[in-house]
Amino acid sequence: MMSDADGRSMRERMLAGDLYIADDPELAEHHLRAMDLMEAFNATPARDSRERRRLLAELLGEIGADTFIRPPLRVDYGSHIRIGARSFANYGLVALDVAPITIGDDVQIGSNVQLLTPTHPVDPELRRAKWEAAEPITIGDNVWLGGGAIVLAGVTVGDNAVVGAGAVVTRDIPANVVAVGNPARVIRAIGPDTA
């Protein structure tokens, strides 16, 4: 287990959101555990919903009642992902959970959505030395992320928001709006008088 000058392990640095080196034996073991579970989940027959659910419960930090994820699923660690109740993720979710990813209740996630918490330094020397960091992602309740949407590190998507297909979300999206484009921008509010 590698550590830095203040005695923290690379995993402790990673979980604190500080720069860390991913090439660390402790982190590698956590990652390999996730890979084993992820590969088993992705290979589980469609009719074996009980085994799929068991594997997700072991892989993820938390998965709410009546939440369903269609394989393939790709994660870094899995244990930093929390998904509420009655949510659905279609084929091809990539959730790189170097930092926490929190997904609320009743969320709809389209095919090939990417939730990307890792960041890399702008400074080329730090990048060359393999330092990286991460920032959490939070997806509120009743959000719809359209197919192919990408949510970047440090972003919060507010309750009831809709993120259009293919949007690249680089900053927070407030509740009760529709956001589209690259970078994603709010195009209208959602309320009782809108469809």
- Please give the positions annotated as active site: 120
Helices 25-43 and 49-59, packing angle to 10 deg: 170
Instruction: State residue 178 phi and psi, 5-degree precision.
Output: -110, 130
Question: What strands lie across the sheet with 81-83, from one edge to the other?
Answer: 62-63, 81-83, 101-103, 137-139, 156-157
Residue 130 burial by CB count (10 A; 0-12/13-18/19+): exposed, middle or buried? exposed
